[in-house]
């Protein structure tokens, strides 16, 4: 996976560096989304339009890079993985309004920036992976993760990762900063080890018996279950069941993937074509069937694998409330020493 990403990045950087030599039939994408997750969409887009997509994948510093490039930036489209990064791009002044009757018609207003700075494309749940063999219960709440009965039994990736910051920010919005600090301290003390690895690695840790529960995004389970290149990931996925937290009260925390048009997009027409395609019903179906995310377009169903997790009752907390509490959430992660792991 790491080799594939580095190879794709090398190709992408070379293509984008070509600058003015690029043909009109191309569009440049700066992406926080890993290439393997968006490649099926880009392949279909090229097949239908003939437009080549050049992707620069960055796991950090995307906004800073575009700001530094200024008016000479080759970026046309920005793809990112949560509301906080979409908001960050808008506030940094590196986007321009998306004007599209297609999007206004097909994408609900709750998934569109009021000023047109970004459009949400999919949602995903921040769920709990649980051992099929060692966890009997089939329902859970986020609040319960701080219960001492789970001491030494929970795994997590880095607390400062945007996926976790989004969840922690939602807890602040629901319970306030003081209560969330207590909860986060309890969660930390229930960890089996220091936070580490990806969401897939948390499933692997459950498979190996290192922990019984883990926080993870819902779509990774589908990706693991269908991974033909790394069949061991199927074993990890088969060792876990997905619990949709707070299904019996406020609902499961969800976040979005989304798209924005870069402020100085040199291929603005092609950028708009790509954005319209990514928001289309066809693309929504690809998200569902191949990326295992929840489509935001009304009437589009998730895949059968995702349906097997149960009916998602999404928390109705406004995404802007999550973004507004992101800084506080990050500060709490450091304050409680979450990434230091449990106190021994």
36 & 57 share domain: yes
- Structural domain includes residue 304: no
216 & 320 share domain: yes
248 & 208 share domain: yes
Q: How many domains in the chain? A: 2
315 & 210 share domain: yes
217 & 332 share domain: yes
- Structural domain includes residue 303: no
Partnered with residue 192 across adjacent β-strands are none
Domain range spanning residue 285? Answer: 2-122+255-298
142 & 243 share domain: yes
Cα–Cα distance measured from residue 88 to residue 312, given in angstroms and rounded to the nearest whole number = 28
| pLDDT tens-digit profile, the chain (344 residues) | 333 333 344 444 444 444 433 445 999 999 998 888 899 999 999 999 999 999 999 988 999 999 999 999 999 999 998 888 899 999 999 999 999 998 999 899 889 999 999 999 999 999 999 999 999 999 999 999 999 999 999 999 999 998 999 999 999 999 999 999 999 999 999 999 999 999 999 999 999 999 999 999 999 999 999 999 999 999 999 999 999 999 999 999 999 999 999 999 999 999 999 999 999 999 999 999 999 999 999 999 999 999 999 999 999 998 888 989 999 999 999 999 999 999 86
Q: Is 220 annotated as a binding residue?
A: yes
Cα of 79 vs its chain's centroid, Å: 11
Helices (H), the chain: 2-17, 35-49, 62-69, 83-91, 101-106, 162-175, 177-189, 199-208, 218-225, 232-238, 268-278, 281-286, 304-307, 319-324, 326-335
201 & 329 share domain: yes
CATH code, 289: 3.40.190.10
Q: Is 219 annotated as a binding residue?
A: yes
């Amino acid at each position: 996976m790491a080799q594939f990403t580095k190879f794709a990045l090398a190709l992408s950087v070379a293509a984008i560096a070509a600058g003015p030599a690029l043909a009109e039939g191309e569009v440049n994408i700066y992406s926080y989304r890993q290439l393997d997750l968006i490649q099926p969409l880009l392949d279909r887009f090229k097949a239908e339009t003939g437009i080549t997509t050049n992707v620069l994948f960055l796991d950090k510093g995307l906004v800073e890079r575009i700001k530094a490039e200024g008016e000479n930036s080759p970026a046309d489209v920005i793809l990112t993985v949560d509301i906080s990064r979409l908001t960050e791009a808008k506030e940094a002044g590196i986007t321009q309004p998306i004007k599209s009757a297609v999007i206004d018609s097909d994408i609900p207003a709750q998934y569109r920036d009021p000023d047109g700075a970004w459009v949400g494309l999919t949602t995903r749940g921040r769920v709990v992976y649980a051992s099929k063999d060692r966890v009997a219960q089939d329902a859970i709440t986020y609040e319960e993760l701080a219960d001492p009965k789970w001491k030494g039994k929970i795994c997590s990736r880095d607390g400062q990762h945007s996926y976790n910051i989004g969840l922690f920010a939602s807890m602040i919005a629901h319970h306030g900063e003081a209560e969330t600090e207590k909860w986060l301290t309890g969660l930390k003390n229930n960890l089996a080890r220091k936070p580490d690895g990806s969401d897939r690695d948390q499933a692997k840790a459950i498979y190996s018996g290192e922990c019984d529960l883990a926080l993870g995004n819902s779509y990774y389970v589908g990706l693991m279950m269908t991974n033909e290149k790394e069949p061991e990931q199927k074993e990890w996925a088969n060792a876990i069941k997905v619990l949709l937290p707070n299904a019996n009260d406020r609902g499961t925390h969800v976040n979005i993937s989304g798209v924005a048009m870069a402020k100085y997009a040199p291929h603005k027409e092609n950028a708009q074509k790509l954005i319209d395609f990514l928001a289309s019903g066809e693309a929504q179906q690809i998200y569902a069937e191949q990326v295992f995310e929840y489509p935001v377009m009304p009437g589009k169903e998730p895949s059968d694998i995702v349906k097997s997790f149960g009916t998602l009752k999404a928390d109705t907390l406004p995404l802007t409330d999550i973004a507004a509490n992101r800084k506080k959430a990050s500060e709490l992660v450091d304050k409680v020493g979450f990434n230091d792991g449990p106190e021994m």
